[in-house]
Each structure stands twice: as C-alpha cells, then as structure tokens.
Structure 1
C-alpha cells in the first residue's frame, strides 16, 4: 500500500479507537465472525528498510502469537472453514475466527505452525500447485528485487518500448514500484508474466530459484499437511487472476489445482482462495464457477466480517488481512468489532457482485 494511503488508514483506525466508535458500533457490525488472511510469518531483523513494498505480506511470529491470544481472550472460537460453513448455514454456535495462509511459504511451517500447535488451533493453507513444484513466479517479489537493484532508473519493457522510472532514492523506488505493480496488474495474465520474465532477465533474478527458496516443496508440504490442525485448500495452478481468463481456462486452473493436491496429498480440497482476491480478479462469474469443482467455500480479499446472509454466498467470502504495516493489537481489536470494514463497505454486509 502506498505510504499516503497507509498513513490515512492508520489515522482512521486511530480515530475509531480514540472515540470509542468501534465499541459502540460492534453490536451492529461484528457479525458472526471473520476469516483472517496471512502470507509470510518470519522474525524481523533490525529496522525495516525504507523500501520494502511487500512488507504488507509479512508479519512477525510475535505479532501472530499476540493476535491468536487476543482472539481467544475476546471469546471467539478459532475453528476450521468446514465448521464456519456449518455455523453460517445452520445459524448455530458462537462468534468465531478462521485463520488462513496463502501460497505455501516455508516460514509458515517454521514459525506459524508451532504457534497453532501450542494452542491446538486449526488453520488453512491455500496452495497454488505449481509453487511446490518449484515453477511458481512470485513476480511481486521479483519486481521489488529488480527495483532495489536498479540505479538510477529501472527499465521495463512496455508496449515495445523501454519504460524508465527513477530509483535513486527510497521514495523514488516506492513510487516506481507502485506504478509498475498496478500497470502489471492491469495487463492480461500471460502478457504480464512475459514482462516480468523480461524484467527478471534484465536484472538477473532467478524466478525458479526464488520460488524454491521461499515455498515448501511437495515433500515438505506432505509433512505439513499431515498435522491434523492443517487444512489444505486450492489456490489455482499458477496463481492467475481468474477474472482475466476465458471460462475454460479459469475452470482448468481451479479443477487442475484440486486434482493435483488430491494426487499429491491424498485428500481432495473443498476450500478455495482466489488469487489476489480483489474485485478485478474474482467476481460473480468466478463465484459461480467455484461451485462446479465442488468447493464448499471460496475466499476473496474483499474486506469484511461474516454475517448470516453469507450462507447463500459461501464461494464469495470476505477476509481480513493481517497486514505487516498494521502490526498493532489496537488495530486488531478494532478489526474484531467489524467497524472499520462496515465503514469501508458503506455498511453493506455482503459483497458478492
């Protein structure tokens, strides 16, 4: 998230906390519970660098541990997605939280799993099946690496020409990252991947090695999935924005990932996460498509709490990000009230369009 937007969001959260508005709104906004989303969990060594645009995808083990305890102390049940679907469908049980992780980072095993094991709490990991095979393209990290290396400009192939953006200072690097990132997100998937591969070649970044360094391989994933606390969900084959794909290719990404996970791990996944998960990556068409492969639930990254009406939209569930820029229990206490998301969504409880 751009620095300006981060500052504005922090100010808004601080206002909700200072005025007590979150607590006042909670009876109307907290809903039945929420689904947290995380990516990487690893210790922070020293001061974070000024240029670290993907820090939003990282939290420390200490912060995750504190959030788990906070959720339990607030009286929420930490449950599986299956039980969450049951509670939404039948309207029974107390307020709950689910914890989900995307992509299969190795640090999830090293740092997150022990925290859940210590408390005997369940969670879900969504896996794009090319990643544990070592063929994933974590392009957002490659882009960060390229811009970190580039000086005084980063060069990107755009529409047959070289696009040069300034990278001499950290502020320039952050602005250039935002510009290139959102331009790439607007491209067709295959074209975007071609641009990223060209960028990786230009700045000598080995995408395959990067994936193998950061993501659990199949052997590691099999051991990880063997813990009864762990549920493995599907996350497509190649981590593509499904809304940009033809129907046949989108279905293949969904079905193919479920088939591969069943083949490798012995259990067919019934839970799914849309890559990126924003409205431009997954919408009404994808929500309907997710029902065909037999997924019981599918999650987005649309912000929000879970309400009884979500029983009719189990393949369009919102999630709440544990964002590396907001590692404060003051913020997460507000998340549990649902107030920030109600305001964000104009008090609309279900967004499945």
Structure 2
C-alpha cells in the first residue's frame, strides 16, 4: 500500500499532467457540470512540521485567496448554499457556480479565513458541531496526532492484534499514525474513541480538551453570525460516523446538532454536512434521515462536481476538498475543471448509492 506521502506525490503528478496537456481547459465544459461545492477545514498561516498527518485539512490564507482568484478567472459565480437547489433545477445559460463550505467550526476560520472571504465579498457556509462549540467533544484525529507526537513508541491493541510501533522520528510517527488510523477506522467508533483516549492518557493529556482550544465558542459564532455573508449549517452533535450507529442514534445526532445550533444562533438551520462524509460514514440511510428531518440540502465528502441529476439527490451532494497537501495552481485548476474527478468517478456524474 502506498504511503500518504507517495500517494500525494502521485496525485500532484496527475494534477501537473492535466495542466500541462491543457485538459483542465478543453475538457472542463463536460467535466465541471453546473458547479462545485468546495470543502475547507483549517485556514492557518503556520507551516506544518515534518510530522503533520492532518496537513491535508489545512490551507494557508494566501491559498484561500488564490482559490477565490482562480474561481473568478475561470468564470465561476460564488453563491450561497441556499441557492444550490434552484441552480440545479434551472441552469439556463448562467455561468458555473461555486459554494464555499468549512467543516467543524475552527477558530482559525474566524481569524484567518473570514478576512479573506470578506475582502472578496464571498458568501460561505460554516458547518458547526455543537459539542465542539461547547468546548467538549472528541476531535479524535487531532488527539491521535498529538498523542503520537509525544510518544517514542506506540503500543495499542486493535481487533485482536497488538501493534508495537516505533515513533521517534517524524517518518516513524507518520507511519504509526497511518497504521493506527487505518485499523481504527475499520472498526466501531466506540473502540476508536476508547483506544485513542488511552493513548492520550499515556501521552499526558486528557481526551476531549482540544475542542476548547481549537473551535469557535457559541459567543464567537454569534459574533460571526452578524456577518450576512455567513450561513451556518449543522454538523451533528458530536461528529460521529453516522453509518456506524443505529438509525435512532444517528437521527438524534443530526437533529440535536441542528436544534442546538438554531437555538444558540437564532437562525433556521437548513443544511447538513455528514461528519467524515465518505461511504463508510454516510449512505442512503443517512441521506433519507436528512431528508426526513427537513434539511434543504446535505453534503458528503464524495468527490465530484454538481450536475442537473443532483436536483433529485439534494441530500447526497458531492464536494471537492481543497487539500492542504496540494496547494498549487495546477492542483486547483484540475479540481475546478472537474477532469480528475471525472476520472476518479469513472465517468459517473452521480455517486449517490
């Protein structure tokens, strides 16, 4: 199996090839569809160190600015998520549209993303996990990263087998993270949270404390809500991989997250983002739950652009992740063209099963 570094090098080579051949221009009319929903998480000027397994979730303010400039240069109209259903039903001869979404509710979105977005006059959507706004909840992917950063060796029991991994150098830490992440993601969420909490304790910190450090509080969110360009969406109560839970629990997570957000911010919450959002975390059952709970739209992390057929699948909308490992113009041009995603989806316009 390819390491994450080699995999990202392969992706970057593909982006350069698309750019060099001009495919991002001449195939774009067929591949980009009617528009695209872009996904961001962290926006920070800090350069990642040699051990940064979650670097894919962070872009710099300068690259966010470059993304907005590239959207403008390619003729995209940036619209609010509220506008998507109508744009899919009545495309007419309008230019392609782009929607900017930010998941989880990180404080750096206010500090570093909002000024860039305001300068461009761009509307955007922030998907908030209510437990994170309470200063609790488990950002387990960051907990795992920080635990391994503090440990010289990682010992963990997963699925009936024991892992004993060296973690002295940045490369060893990265390999340990990848091995543990892959194995834990394949099992139950309860086991994942339990094993990572144990590693946090061994590393000398308490699981569940990171949200208060990294995420926006309700006070921060209310202040941000005074900006009319910001739409708030629900991202559940505690950020579970919904498909790993019983239907009643999944519905409770979705509904409670929305209701808390609406009560705290005094706004109707029309849109949902499924945590993790890939097929292991959100499928047809979750799409039906979002529809039955009254959301106008719900977004996944399944990669793809938007086509007219998505008007019939508003609770299974694809997005395109702006990946912190690929902060280059070639990567951005490729993603906005839709060409690499058309290849990824083997020519399918809809991936809603």
TM-score (norm 2): 0.96
Matched residue SS, 2:126: strand
* Structure 1 position 160, deviation (Å): 7.2
* Structure 1 position 180, deviation (Å): 0.4
Could you tell me which residue of structure 2 aligns to residue 198 of structure 1? Answer: 198
Matched residue SS, 1:53: coil
Counterpart-to-counterpart distance in 2, 1:18 and 1:161: 46
Counterpart-to-counterpart distance in 1, 2:49 and 2:128: 29
Counterpart-to-counterpart distance in 2, 1:217 and 1:102: 15
Could you tell me which residue of structure 2 aligns to residue 142 of structure 1? Answer: 143
- Is residue 186 of structure 1 aligned with residue 203 of structure 2? no
Contact 2:158 2:183 in 1 (8 A): no
- Is residue 31 of structure 1 aligned with residue 33 of structure 2? yes
* Structure 1 position 324, deviation (Å): 0.6
Q: Which runs of 5+ in 2 are unaligned?
A: none
* Structure 1 position 214, deviation (Å): 0.4
Match of 2:4 among 2, 12, 16: 2
* Structure 1 position 205, deviation (Å): 2.2
Counterpart-to-counterpart distance in 2, 1:257 and 1:94: 34
Q: Which runs of 5+ in 1 are unaligned?
A: none
Contact 2:126 2:233 in 1 (8 A): yes
Counting matched residue pairs gives 350
Contact 2:233 2:273 in 1 (8 A): yes
- Is residue 342 of structure 1 aligned with residue 342 of structure 2? yes
Matched residue SS, 1:99: strand
Matched residue SS, 1:331: helix
Could you tell me which residue of structure 2 aligns to residue 86 of structure 1? Answer: 86
TM-score (norm 1): 0.96
Could you tell me which residue of structure 1 aligns to residue 106 of structure 2? Answer: 105
* Structure 1 position 71, deviation (Å): 0.6
Could you tell me which residue of structure 2 aligns to residue 121 of structure 1? Answer: 122
Matched residue SS, 1:148: helix
Match of 1:12 among 2, 11, 14: 14
* Structure 1 position 207, deviation (Å): 3.1
Alignment of 1:1-353 (within 5 A): 2-45=4-47, 48-92=48-92, 93-151=94-152, 153-159=153-159, 163-353=163-353
* Structure 1 position 2, deviation (Å): 0.7
Encode CA deviations 1:303-323: one digit per residue, 9 max, x unaligned: 110011110011111111111
181-190 or 157-166: bigger deviation: 157-166
Counterpart-to-counterpart distance in 2, 1:205 and 1:328: 36
Contact 1:41 1:112 in 2 (8 A): yes
Counterpart-to-counterpart distance in 2, 1:147 and 1:208: 16
